[in-house]
Structure 1
Amino acid sequence: MKKIFLVLLMLLNLQAKSFFSNDDQKEASKYLMAVKDLIVAAQKTRGATYSYANGNENAMMLVYMFRDDMNSAIRTMESLPLSKNPIIGARTTTISSAFVKLNSKALKMKPNEAFDAYTENIAQTLLLAQSVSQIGSEKMSPFGKKVTSIMMETILPLSEWMGQLRAIGSAACAKGGATKKDKIKMQILMSKIAKLDQELQIKMSSAIKDNPSNFSPDVKERLANAHKAISHYLSITKKEVMKDKTNYNPDDYFALATDTIDSVIALFDIGHAAINEDAKGWF
């Protein structure tokens, strides 16, 4: 009777775990983490550069610190097995070269030109993330594919819209007010952020419901906290920053935005851990 119970227990959990361990799934998830780290570091570099170019001299030290984080992420990407894939390897080399070139001249460029150049390079990195999601997840379990899709197609784009808002908002604070163009850009970004936040809540809740054992015990709380942080971030932006004149400290706004983005990126890390848990399998 005991043996029958154990067999039934295993069968009930087959949806949550692969029957055999999946080393390919683990390797893909490692690469996804490195791509995420590059995107986050590039977003911070863009924001600090734009803030500095608009008069916030305190941002200079952050620029160089975030550039170091970018270089570290690129080195990690290049060291992983998935970089040997012809498509991924070629795109990584192109993106790496573009960021190195941009970093060498960004502080001498006009603020908007530097912002646009970083945004274009980040967009290319997001396309790389899409390639990793498609190629790297070929041998993943259905659960791994579902969570990878959330990480790459919802969480990373959400962090990018928030990163752009952080850069424009902190620059507005540094200038002492938002221009009409700034306000339009911020309003568009806020709408995109609110929409993707709702999408994240729905998709992540579905993944948790289907495979709760793969996630950390506090995942629902972390998901709710991310939503609260985003709502607060958008509220502060609307009430304190989208104004002709503002006294809001640019460093405080940058920190608020970064903390909010970190709460979303934490869900990326939770997804990564869940994929690794699923990849353990039964044998």
Structure 2
Amino acid sequence: MEIYIIILLLIILFSVWLHHYKTKQQKTLCVQGLDNITHIKLLISAIQTHRGLSSALLNGDQSKQVVLATIEQQVKSEIKYLEEQHTLDKNGRWGSFTDHWGRLKQHDKARDADNSFKQHTQLIANLLYLLEDEAERGHLNAGSFPKLPNIGFVWRELVVTTEIIGQSRAIGTGVATSKTCSSVHKIRLSFLQQNMQKTINSTLPKLSSLDRFTGEHKALLKIAKLKMQFLSSTIERELISAEKISINQDEYFALATDSIKALDSIFNHQIEQIQQII
């Protein structure tokens, strides 16, 4: 009889240890995934900025040379940090990104504006998939965070929306620099403008928050909505429908950047809430 009691106690102790081990392992994965996602997002933002400034440069604004060099240093810093973690080594998207970025940085100033835009956009698409991979690997989902049931929208729809605005920033900056909006650019801007409106109507309202963060969450959503609506109306008025392009490229770049920053504030606020739960 005593031997059965001992065995039962050992089974209970093992079960407790196993539960503790799995909980600790889960937390480690979440923390690591969140850190990688944070730095991948910074990398995405830097590449988006580099694309927009390259658009101005390749359309004739030579003043962007110096600031582009600064952005390239930021990209280099983020790449170095992520490489030192050795957590992305097995993901083929990461190797593809670093190789592509090295080639783009070396030859970008010799490209035409459309090809530069295309190459940057491919890079960013790769990083967007990588960010989602890391969210999945780190179990950063509603199953792990039931109090944030729509957290998946942050890793997909929200970051994709910043890219929609980033593309409109790059195209619009090129148009504002060259003072010419071709029919192709008008179609692209109109498409991006429509997608911005979809985000305002569907994606933003679906984002969730912890009860004690509700007030700040609603305020951030309101700011983002207003900034995106103003950007959308500016695109229509100053770029798509304008008979003559008069808006300054730096003014337009800053306006689009304000919308991106508003969405980034929501992204960072979601990260902060996850950190509270972990």
- When normalised by structure 2's length, the TM-score is 0.84
Given the alignment of the two structures, is residue 65 of structure 1 paired with residue 67 of structure 2, yes or no? Answer: no
| Stretch moving more, 20-29 or 268-277 | 20-29
Shift of 1:263: 0.6
Q: Is the 8 A contact 1:179 1:244 kept in 2?
A: no
Given the alignment of the two structures, is residue 44 of structure 1 paired with residue 56 of structure 2, yes or no? Answer: no
Q: Is the 8 A contact 1:144 1:275 kept in 2?
A: no
Give distance in 2, aligned partners of 1:176 and 1:275.
45
Give distance in 2, aligned partners of 1:157 and 1:27.
22
Give distance in 2, aligned partners of 1:52 and 1:273.
36
| Stretch moving more, 74-83 or 171-180 | 74-83
Shift of 1:62: 2.4
**Compared with structure 1, are the counterparts of its residues 36 and 147 closer, same or farther at alpha carbon in structure 2 (3 Å cutoff)?**
farther
Shift of 1:110: 1.1
**Compared with structure 1, are the counterparts of its residues 78 and 197 closer, same or farther at alpha carbon in structure 2 (3 Å cutoff)?**
farther
The one-letter amino acid of 1:52's match is L
**Which has the greater radius of gyration?**
2
Shift of 1:147: 5.4
> Equivalent residue for 2:256?
257
Give distance in 2, aligned partners of 1:199 and 1:78.
36
Shift of 1:145: 7.3
> Equivalent residue for 1:105?
107
Q: Is the 8 A contact 1:151 1:268 kept in 2?
A: yes
Give distance in 2, aligned partners of 1:248 and 1:121.
29
Residue aligned with 1:50, SS:
helix
> Equivalent residue for 1:126?
128
> Equivalent residue for 1:161?
164
**Compared with structure 1, are the counterparts of its residues 71 and 92 closer, same or farther at alpha carbon in structure 2 (3 Å cutoff)?**
same
Residue aligned with 2:87, SS:
helix
**Compared with structure 1, are the counterparts of its residues 163 and 232 closer, same or farther at alpha carbon in structure 2 (3 Å cutoff)?**
same
Give distance in 1, aligned partners of 2:57 and 2:115.
14
Structure 1 segments unaligned to the other structure (5+ residues): 1-18
1:156-205 Cα offsets, whole Å, 9 max, x none, are: 1000010000011011110113111111110001111211232332221x
Q: Is the 8 A contact 1:147 1:275 kept in 2?
A: no
> Equivalent residue for 1:7?
none
- When normalised by structure 1's length, the TM-score is 0.83
> Equivalent residue for 1:23?
28
Give distance in 1, aligned partners of 2:229 and 2:59.
26
Q: Which has the higher contact order (CA 8 A, sep 6+)?
A: 1
Given the alignment of the two structures, is residue 223 of structure 1 paired with residue 228 of structure 2, yes or no? Answer: no
Residue aligned with 1:262, SS:
helix
| Stretch moving more, 182-191 or 194-203 | 194-203
> Equivalent residue for 2:271?
272
> Equivalent residue for 2:87?
82
Count of aligned pairs: 253
Task: Give the share of equivalent positions with the same residue, in percent.
Answer: 21
Shift of 1:58: 2.4
**Compared with structure 1, are the counterparts of its residues 118 and 225 closer, same or farther at alpha carbon in structure 2 (3 Å cutoff)?**
same
Give distance in 2, aligned partners of 1:275 and 1:53.
41
Structure 2 segments unaligned to the other structure (5+ residues): 1-22
Give distance in 2, aligned partners of 1:112 and 1:219.
37
1:76-98 Cα offsets, whole Å, 9 max, x none, are: 222336335x23xx321221121
Q: Is the 8 A contact 1:147 1:271 kept in 2?
A: no
Give distance in 1, aligned partners of 2:44 and 2:147.
21
The one-letter amino acid of 2:135's match is S
Give distance in 1, aligned partners of 2:161 and 2:97.
21
Q: Is the 8 A contact 1:34 1:73 kept in 2?
A: yes
Give distance in 2, aligned partners of 1:158 and 1:150.
11
